[in-house]
Amino acid sequence: MKLFQKLLVAGTALSLIAPVASQANTVNLEEMNSYVRSKKSKSRLDSKTFVNEVNKELASSKGRLNGLEAKQNNFEAGGFSDTTTLDGKAVFAIAAADHNGSYSSNNSEAVQSHYMYQMNLNTSFTGDDNLYIRLKTGNAAGWTVTEEQGGYLVSGKGSSDAIKVDKIWYTFPVGESNTFWIGPEIENYYMHATTPSIYSPTMKQFTLGGNASAYGASTNSGLGWAYNADNGFAASSNVVSKQTNSSSTGFLSNEAQTSWATQIGYTQPQYSVSAIVNMKYNGWEDYYFSTTNGRNRDITSGLNSTNIGLRAWWRPQETGTATPSISVGYDTSSINGAPSGADSTDMFFVGFNWADMFLADDKIGLAFGQPQTNENDTVDPFSYEAYYQYALNDASTLRTTVFGNSDRDGTVGNDNNGVVVETTFKF
């Protein structure tokens, strides 16, 4: 019996035995007083009578205790599974930006305050497999969840306070080196064998070493495989298809937009290099780190594209020094059948992180790069962010980020600059 059960049963037994003792004392006094007053009463309380009364009360108490233990067992049987774990986080954000060009008329410059809340559920059935479910909600709006303006926050979630199943998939190993995924709500990059970047971004455009054509993804039905060797070599291949269950656009059908990504990489404790080829079909759209022309890429014509991404990162052996970790990325895309002058794009990214510089567990970040541009773009757009993060305690951090984007969507003068303050609580 568990300690809690023992304490509960012991407390209950004491509470039940106490009335018995109290009743026995009352019976003795009443009998004695009656005997003294009448001096003729034949009623006597002997030891046999007392023992019989106590046995009756104990029998009743045992029945009540058995019922209590049965209820407790039923509660445990319907409780949380021992193989399921829950963790999550909440983010409070305050953000403000100065917009120029057409961004001025399309965006409010009022200070925004919003939140994001996320819960991660992991369940294992064999000890090696995992069913992952992510529940997420938030009330972000405007430029903080608008891709082409460069302000989309990693913590941004604009679901109007509605909690939704944001991710759900099942993964399992085969042997010691192979892992498989399958799920109705998953993105390609969760199934890659090699981590493309170790830079920790504030803006979503700087995730994955530049979230453009090669790594740009979308949550939908998918499956994948990854191989990780003991010597650091890794390979993976996965596919995600934008099915629409209410129409004829089904999973991996000829009408569906599909992304098929194959990656190879080599990783050691201090560095990693990787390359990816992502075949995208039926006008698949990439938008987090892209200009308007780079994003469209004649997607309205339903064309296919071949996207190649190169990634590398390096980190020093020790933190707290002037030497940062470095992550770099480069993408190039070729659109099959597009007219000359609009049939290719490219992108580059550089990110730096310094850790434990002023306080334990603090972090400094700096990232910059050129969004994915098409040959039709006549400007050189540029984006950057810089932040400082420190730990408030073991479970919460405060990050202040300044950012800027010039000619961000490929239009001269469409700029924005701003600041974001985020408090993250993890549990």
Return the sign of the alpha-carbon dihedral for residues 421, 213, 367, 380: negative
The answer to whether the beta carbons of residues 94 and 57 sit under 8 Å apart is no
pLDDT at 254: 77
Residues 7 and 62 in one domain: yes
pLDDT at 5: 41
Average pLDDT over residues 347-356: 98
DSSP codes joined into one string, 141-185: -GGGG-TTTT--BTT--BSTT--EEEEEEEEEEETTTEEEEEEEE
Lowest-confidence segment of 13-22, 230-239, 256-265, 347-356 by average pLDDT: 13-22
Q: pLDDT digits over 254-301, tens only? A: 778 999 999 999 999 999 999 999 999 988 888 899 999 888 765 656
DSSP codes joined into one string, 254-313: TTSEEEEEEEEEEEETTEEEEEEEEEEESS----TTB-HHHHHTTGGGT--EEEEEEEEE
CA distances from 196 to 228, 309, 359, 385 (A): 15, 10, 28, 19
Residues 62 and 121 in one domain: no
pLDDT at 338: 81
Angle at which helix 47-77 crosses helix 3-38, to 10 degrees, equals 160
Give 250 or 53, the one with higher predicted confidence.
250
What does the alpha-carbon distance between residue 240 and residue 184 come to, in Å, rounded to a whole number? 9
In sequence order, the 6+-apart residues with CB closer than 8 A to the CB of 173 are 128, 129, 179, 180
Residue 365 burial (10 A CB sphere; 0-12, 13-18, 19+): buried
Structural element, H or E, at residue 373: strand 363-374
265: which 2 tokens? 């990489």
352: which 2 tokens? 């730096």
pLDDT at 367: 98
Host domain of residue 22: 3-77
Across all residues in the chain, what is the average pLDDT?
85
Residues 42 and 102 in one domain: no
The answer to whether the beta carbons of residues 221 and 258 sit under 8 Å apart is no
Structural element, H or E, at residue 6: helix 3-38
Residues 248 and 210 in one domain: yes
CA contacts within 13 A on the Cβ side of 80: 8
pLDDT at 299: 60
pLDDT at 33: 46
pLDDT above 50 (res 10): no
- 107: domain CATH number? 2.40.160.10
pLDDT at 340: 76
Query: For the chain, what is the domain count?
Result: 2
Q: pLDDT digits over 124-141, tens only? A: 999 999 999 999 999 999
What does the H/E/C string look like for 27-93? HHHHHHHHHHHHCCCCCCCCHHHHHHHHHHHHHHHHHHHHHHHHHHHHHHHCCCCCCEEEEEEEEEE
First-to-last alpha carbon distance for the chain, in angstroms, is: 30
Residues 235 and 362 in one domain: yes
Residues 55 and 189 in one domain: no
* pLDDT band at residue 427 using 50, 70 and 90 as cut-offs: very high
* pLDDT band at residue 31 using 50, 70 and 90 as cut-offs: very low
Which among 77, 97, 127 is the end of a domain? 77
Q: pLDDT digits over 39-94, tens only? A: 444 445 455 665 566 566 656 666 665 665 555 555 444 455 678 999 999 999 99
Q: pLDDT digits over 137-174, tens only? A: 999 999 999 988 999 999 999 999 999 999 999 999 99
pLDDT at 15: 43
Residues 356 and 216 in one domain: yes
Which among 45, 77, 109 is the end of a domain? 77
In sequence order, the 6+-apart residues with CB closer than 8 A to the CB of 319 are 354, 355, 356
What does the alpha-carbon distance between residue 113 and residue 248 come to, in Å, rounded to a whole number? 41
What does the alpha-carbon distance between residue 165 and residue 168 come to, in Å, rounded to a whole number? 7
Residues 38 and 131 in one domain: no
Give 210 or 338, the one with higher predicted confidence.
210
Residues 289 and 368 in one domain: yes
* pLDDT band at residue 21 using 50, 70 and 90 as cut-offs: very low
Of 363, 348, 359, the closest CA to residue 315 belongs to 363
What does the alpha-carbon distance between residue 111 and residue 113 come to, in Å, rounded to a whole number? 7
Average pLDDT over residues 211-220: 92
* pLDDT band at residue 252 using 50, 70 and 90 as cut-offs: confident
Q: pLDDT digits over 99-121, tens only? A: 999 998 888 889 999 999 999 99
Return the sign of the alpha-carbon dihedral for residues 144, 148, 150, 155: positive
Residues 72 and 118 in one domain: no
Which among 57, 77, 97 is the end of a domain? 77
The answer to whether the beta carbons of residues 153 and 144 sit under 8 Å apart is yes
Return the sign of the alpha-carbon dihedral for residues 141, 145, 148, 150: positive
The answer to whether the beta carbons of residues 197 and 327 sit under 8 Å apart is yes
Residues 168 and 36 in one domain: no
What does the alpha-carbon distance between residue 223 and residue 231 come to, in Å, rounded to a whole number? 25
The answer to whether the beta carbons of residues 275 and 318 sit under 8 Å apart is no
Residues 62 and 152 in one domain: no
